[in-house]
Amino acid sequence: MLKKTICVSLSALLLPTLIAGCLGGSESGSGPNTSTRTTSSQAVDGVNISATPQGRCGPGSRQETGMQGRVSQADHDAGLAAVGFTCNTELVGSFSPETVIGTVGGFKVERYRDKAGRDCAYYDSTLLYPTNLLDREAGVNVFDMSDPTQPVRTARLLTPAMLSPHESLVLSQEGGVLAAVLGNPAFGPGVVDIYDVSEDCRTPVLKSSTPLGVFGHESGLSPDGKTFYSASPSTSTLVALDISNPSIPRPLWSGQYSSHGLSISADGNRAYVASLGDPSGMIVLDVSEIQARKTDPQVREISTLSWDTVSIPQNAIPVTIKGKPYVIEVDEYATGGGGLIVSANGPLVGAARVIDISDESKPTVVSNLRLAVHNQANREEIANDPGAQNATGGYAGHYCNVPTRIDPTIVACSMILSGLRIFDIRNPERPVEVAYFNAPVKDRMLTQPAPASNWAMSSPAFVPERKEIWYTDGYQGFFVVKVTNNAWK
């Protein structure tokens, strides 16, 4: 408890130390309503594991000059970083406000089309509240995306959870609800804000703001928009709320899980948890009794999975490819290999992976989504690149997402210094990196915790009909990127 108290008091001052201390102090745990788990551990060679192979960069690309994913000091000195690097991508539009310290993009980007066919984007502007207030930016930004070349901000959501949602902003396409829980890198008061975006996505309507999330950090939302999960790994609390009436949310269940992000299956009966417990990795939970709204619902652990390259599991998304079920899991940051302690340019980078869950009692990693800069053998060479020594940044993964959970052909990942990376997963056992967009680097007044560089942290959103990907860079704002040269099949 002492460690967690210290973490809260330092939350506005020492982000790298905060995350290292809090995650290092995370407790594993099973909720009281669980049964014996089946645990799998998949060993891989953490030193020699291969980076994902790259495809060809077509016309119009400005390719990286060297190692896959690297932006070196030489690139900065030559002015190449200021132009940016692209492979089979082009910039369509952006929103990049003038800043003082440059923290203007957060952790999630969501897209929604309302009943009238209007297209909107939502993204949080808070990497660590209240630092973004120095840039006159706050809350969750709402954009009219009728013209993607010129995003128009129509509103800012400034209720408690939207001011500091940390990694919890989620949206249900089916339910037309946008939700978040008040959080920070340790754990925040669990105020849950719920908005209706279905009528006019440009002007979300607040339905409720209640302290029912217990503690906040990350979250999950059932696809039907009726069950919100508040997750806090440092307090090992996971809470399920019924938000079928968003004006009157009510508690359904709570358990002791060191849950980071979690995703819920299409039918609402499974939760795929990125776990910081013991072991760190993924937990598959049977949450069918919560979905069925049984009195005193019981949650059962089906299995857990870990891997030798695990750093800090961030999120796990179920998908189906050619009728076979998989999970796309991504880890954040780098560690020294001795537990969940964030390490600047540490040797162990989890990056991302594809997990076969055909037998959900024995999930298996079938491939990795990673770059050459993530491999242990290359860490010393890249250690002095601009931004590489940022413990909460550097060359590492943070979030991935898919345009659809049924037969996605690509996965797009924000990989911090390496920008937005796009992988073809039509053959999930043999992925290929087919595109990337490393945004032009702008000068900043504040050069700590890292010099001017990319800080791509957000879960991206997609516009499949135009082959667009929307994401944010923590330093530089919101980007609309088009995948070109038929790289997105």
Of 63, 53, 47, the closest CA to residue 377 belongs to 47
> Is residue 488 included in any domain, yes or no?
no
Locate tokens 């870990």: which residue?
306
Of 205, 208, 196, the closest CA to residue 241 belongs to 208
- Say how far apart CA 165 and CA 140 lie, in whole Å: 9
> Is residue 204 included in any domain, yes or no?
yes
Say if CB 407 and CB 322 are below 8 A apart: yes
Residue 96: its pLDDT value, please?
86
> Is residue 78 included in any domain, yes or no?
yes
Query: Whole domain around residue 264: which residue ranges?
Result: 2-483
Locate tokens 């709402």: which residue?
142
Mean pLDDT per 10-residue interval, the chain, length 489 residues: 28 34 36 38 52 97 98 96 98 83 84 97 87 75 98 96 96 98 90 98 98 96 98 96 98 97 98 93 98 98 95 97 98 83 91 98 97 96 94 94 98 98 98 97 73 92 98 93 98
Give me the helices (H) in 194-259, please.
none
> Is residue 489 included in any domain, yes or no?
no
Residue 278: its pLDDT value, please?
84
**Which pTM was predicted?**
0.91
* CATH number of the domain enclosing 133: 2.130.10.10
> Is residue 316 included in any domain, yes or no?
yes
Locate tokens 């076969």: which residue?
356
- Say how far apart CA 392 and CA 311 lie, in whole Å: 12
The count of domains in the chain is: 1
> Is residue 62 included in any domain, yes or no?
yes
- Say how far apart CA 2 and CA 25 lie, in whole Å: 10
Locate tokens 């135009």: which residue?
466
> Is residue 336 included in any domain, yes or no?
yes
Residue 429: its pLDDT value, please?
96
- Say how far apart CA 70 and CA 89 lie, in whole Å: 17
Host H or E run for residue 301: strand 300-307
